[in-house]
Amino acid sequence: MRLFRLTLATIFQRKAWAICALAVIALPFALPMISSATEKPILVQPARIQAAWGTLWVCTVLWGLFTAAREGETNAKTGVGEYFQTTGLSATRQLFEIWLAVFCFVAPLALITAAICQFAAAPADPVEHAMWWTLNLQYVTLFLLVTGPLLALATAIASRFGGITGFATTMGITLYGLYGVGYLKNMLQLEANPILHGVWLFSPHYDFADLTQRLFFKTGALPTGDFWSMILYFGGILAVYTGVSRLCFRTKLSA
């Protein structure tokens, strides 16, 4: 795990992760206090939920994907990847270790966000409170299952086409999966189009993993069957992205 330790230390030394950690911890408490939610105390907790998960998504998309892309480009551009390959570390293992180093910073942010929602925004009603643990656990699981493959994809694309391309491509996929598919669905409801329907059908529906509204409106945990269906769906996307990432990833610049 030499490359993992090197990448982990490099990210840690840059200190940008500390800004994300501070934002994830502080903004869920600060933003509701400067919004209209303070006029009605009952709205403070829902506003805190939106601020918490919204901050996490923003930090992951902007910092997480950028960091993954930067590390992938650096590994190929500086000769680090080529060096480790001469020591017997395969390209597949290098991709995994770089991904794991970035993921080790993203995963704790997700756990912190879930903890804030659990202990600082949980409903007082005993029935709703009992489902809060399950819903937060489901959200963290789906969030990591969505963002994990995207981090690997950003690393792989950046190692071949450059950091800007890797970051922009994966950020575009993420935003499209979270919001674009919703606009596309609205368009199809207004006017049927077989081509657009096919595009929508095969699009990554990351909006399924965004359970913020369920927390906001206290609609309870996902039914077990629906949750496992989502696990299988995003697991399939993970398999596809893993294959694409391995095909794209390279350990050195082409001559």
Consecutive 10-residue averages of pLDDT for the chain (255 residues) = 94 94 95 74 85 96 97 93 90 96 97 94 78 93 97 96 96 96 88 87 94 88 94 97 96 74
Distance, in Å, from the CA atom of 154 to the CA atom of 102, rounded to the nearest integer, reads 11
Quickly list DSSP for the chain: -HHHHHHHHHHHHH-HHHHHHHHHHHHHHHHHHTSGGGGSGGGHHHHHHHHHHHHHHHHIIIIIHHHHHHHHHHHHHSSHHHHHHHTT--HHHHHHHHHHHHHHHHHHHHHHHHHHHHHHS--SSHHHHHHHHHHHHHHHHHHHHHHHHHHHHHHHHHHHH-HHHHHHHHHHHHHIIIIIHHHHHHHHHHS--HHHHHHHHTS--GGGG--HHHHHTT--PPPHHHHHHHHHHHHHHHHHHHHHHHHH--SS---
Would you say residue 168 lies in a domain?
A: yes
Rounded Cα distance, 49 and 30, in Å = 12
The pair of three-digit structure tokens given for residue 8, joined into one six-digit string:
């982990």
The token duo for 110 is: 């997700």
Structural domain contains residue 218? yes
Please report the pLDDT score of residue 3 as a whole number: 94
Instruction: With respect to residue 233, please indicate whether it lies within any of the assigned structural domains.
Output: yes
Residue 152 within any structural domain of the chain: yes
253 in a structural domain: no
254 occurs within a structural domain: no
Length of the chain: 255
* Residue span of the structural domain in which 193 resides: 2-248
Per-residue confidence (pLDDT) for residue 247, from 0 to 100? 95
User: Quick check: 102 and 71 in contact, CB under 8 A?
Assistant: yes
Is 255 part of any domain?
no
Please give the Cα distance from 74 to 255 (Å, whole number).
16
Residue 100 within any structural domain of the chain: yes
pLDDT of residue 45: 86
Number of domains the chain contains: 1
Angstrom distance (rounded) from CA 184 to CA 182 = 5
29 and 52 Cβ atoms separated by less than 8 Å? no
Identify the pLDDT of residue 37. 61
